[in-house]
Structure 1
């Protein structure tokens, strides 16, 4: 039996754009803040296209070796082990490099020949060049607002991708997502979205990140499972946003009035 499709509610033409991008064999870049549905979208679209999805969560230690592969000791032998990028290139999978700007610069260098007309991967340690499978697709995500000016994608890299911006859904759509994801009642979902909208507009608090749809889903799950509403909002929305005690108290007061 076919696995159930991940729930995803389109906010624009992103599904249509991705399908045409895939058919055109052009890399795809998802831009937007944390928790706006970028990862869920790629899970949904891979399922829709019936393609294997390999996800790599990039961080400051992620190197090209991690993606391409390495030699390992196996018994008395030294054998080559393909990395996830090499596997995707050979098998024709969709590889998703989540938060690509967080990775080391050599990762960008390694994927360059896969993001232009060549569609090939050079494995330096083997002295081999592999042509990408017909169905191979490179997808990456990037949060332009996070630590702006510190970890940016170069224009020469950006221009190798078709790019779509993801933002927080409209209030009615976001509430619908909460209901579908968690089973929470529509009225409580609307209140949670109102809280998120209010906090997102409080730029004077200086929050590094604001309330994501993901945080709202977490709060809704707790409420649906029986945790008191105010406590659910405190631990799922307020506390993850900041460690500043004064800001926490201000947010708690605000949320208590709205929930």
Structure 2
């Protein structure tokens, strides 16, 4: 296959306005360690980055915050097992005027110099994720085989992926050939004081209530691997706080957001309900 390296500026839907993808308002993100400075250094080197951590630990919010801080457009893709390579790079479409090419989100990001964030990359098929390989080494190119074009990534382009290392099996893990193309940052749930501060800011509840929610989460996280596949995430705590702030009884709010979503086991639900009752009697 021969690839045309001439910029394709007039015959596709590639000319998306970068401003459409810019984050206009600063997202609230509370730094925990030195992750913001480390990421900024990685971006200056245009290093592909991998964010590793449990569900709801702030990976997506962090990417949004860094895109805002660096003043770069952000294109996010929620990966799933039905996603094909064409969903990422683009495809030909038929309309009343005939056939036209439409860029996918990865191609759009590569052309405009956006940060492309592939969320939960392990959910995608491995034969799909390999399309990112030429963008994650010295070549920084994206072959569009169906179109016969070789897209050279904009100098400002960066690719970021995320996944939960504790929630995959042998059939859902990244290949070493993929992992070793990325720098990596580890994410985890914040320490109790920081998480309390985050909840109070995000939900409007008082610090005492926020502290109680964090204590419940701490107890549940200790049960991971002992009846629970996953602990209570910061995201779920924010949900609980939002309901409480709107006047929902704390026990009902916690049951709805902290207990029912993470387990169907009756005994484990009783254990978690007891923990909730201990703090919100």
Which interval holds the TM-score relative to the shorter structure?
over 0.9
Q: Gaps spanning 5+ residues in structure 1: where?
A: none
Aligned twin of 2:83: 62
Q: Name the CA distance, whole Å, in 1 between partners of 2:243 and 2:109.
A: 37
Match of 2:54 in 1: 33
Can you list the C-alpha shifts for 1:226-246, whole angstroms capped at 9, x where unaligned? Answer: 001111111010001111222
Q: Which moved more, 1:194-203 or 1:168-177?
A: 194-203
Aligned residue for 1:12? 33
* Cα pair 2:223 2:231 within 8 Å, conserved: no
Of 177, 184, 203, which aligns to 1:156? Answer: 177
Displacement of 1:204 in angstroms is 5.7
Q: Does 1:141 align with 2:150?
A: no
Question: SS of 2:260's equivalent?
Answer: helix
What is the CA–CA distance in structure 2 between the aligned matches of 1:107 and 1:203, rounded to whole Å? 31
> For 1:52 and 1:60, how far apart are their aligned partners in 2?
26
Give distance in 1, aligned partners of 2:101 and 2:223. Answer: 52
Q: Secondary structure at the match of 1:220?
A: helix
In the alignment, does 2:205 pair up with 1:184?
Answer: yes
What TM-score does the superposition give when structure 1 sets the normalisation length?
Answer: 0.97
User: Structure 2 residue aligned with 1:52, among 73, 77, 100?
Assistant: 73
Moved more, 13-22 or 150-159: 150-159
Q: Is 1:3 paired with 2:53?
A: no
Unaligned runs of 5+ in 2: 1-22
2:236 aligned to 200, 211, 215, which one? 215
Determine if contact 2:79/2:121 at 8 Å carries over to the other structure: yes
Give the stretch that moved more between structures: 45-54 or 103-112.
103-112
Count of residue correspondences:
258
Are 1:112 and 2:133 matched, yes or no? yes
- Indicate the SS of the match to 1:129: strand
Note the C-alpha offset of 1:196: 0.4
Match of 1:216, SS state, is helix
In 2: Cα distance, 1:153 partner to 1:194 partner:
34
Q: What corresponds to 1:230 in structure 2?
A: 251
- State yes or no: 1:131 paired with 2:146: no
Q: Which residue does 1:72 correspond to in 2?
A: 93
Aligned equivalent of 1:196, options 202, 209, 217: 217
